[in-house]
Amino acid sequence: MPNLRHERVRELLKRAIGEAIRREFLVNDVGLITVNDIEVGGDLKSAVVFITILGNPTQQKHGLQVLEQNRIRVQGLVAKSVVLKYMPTLKFIVDDSIVRGNRVLQILDELEKVAPVDSGPTEEPA
């Protein structure tokens, strides 16, 4: 279980990384990149950044490539805004949980249209 310090560092990094990405990369080129979550290592020297890239498939693929190529630049920008003893080494991973969640909701909506939910037992007059 992460302690309070890890939680605070995680939230601070999440905000700073999201801001750095927003300022550095054009949405038209790489799609809309959002930082969903961050897992920080116990020693605070590494961090896995879970991102979602909204856009067409070409933008999504290009967006991940650009992030990986500019990882050190993003780390440098974050290091300037967040004061830590060690700046964690960032690793970007595409998180498709939002897409999967939307798909589940879509399936549930389709099922609801096909077979409406029964409103419960009905009482028949005696």
User: Would you say residue 121 lies in a domain?
Assistant: no
Name the nearest CA neighbour of 21 among 94, 70, 84: 70
User: Would you say residue 123 lies in a domain?
Assistant: no
- Residue 49 identity: V
- Residue 85: pLDDT band (50, 70, 90) is confident
User: Would you say residue 18 lies in a domain?
Assistant: yes
CATH number at residue 105: 3.30.300.20
- Mean of pLDDT values over 13-38: 90
Give the integer Cα–Cα distance in Å for 107 and 67: 32
pTM to 2 decimal places: 0.75
User: Would you say residue 13 lies in a domain?
Assistant: yes
User: Would you say residue 126 lies in a domain?
Assistant: no
Contacting residues for 96 by C-beta, under 8 A, at least 6 apart = 52
Name the nearest CA neighbour of 33 among 24, 46, 45: 24
User: Would you say residue 28 lies in a domain?
Assistant: yes
Give 41-80 pLDDT, tens digit per residue. 888 889 999 998 888 888 888 888 999 999 999 999 999 9
| 101: containing domain | 4-114
User: Would you say residue 37 lies in a domain?
Assistant: yes
**3-state secondary structure (DSSP) of residue 39:** strand
117 pLDDT more than 60: no
Q: How many domains does the chain have?
A: 1
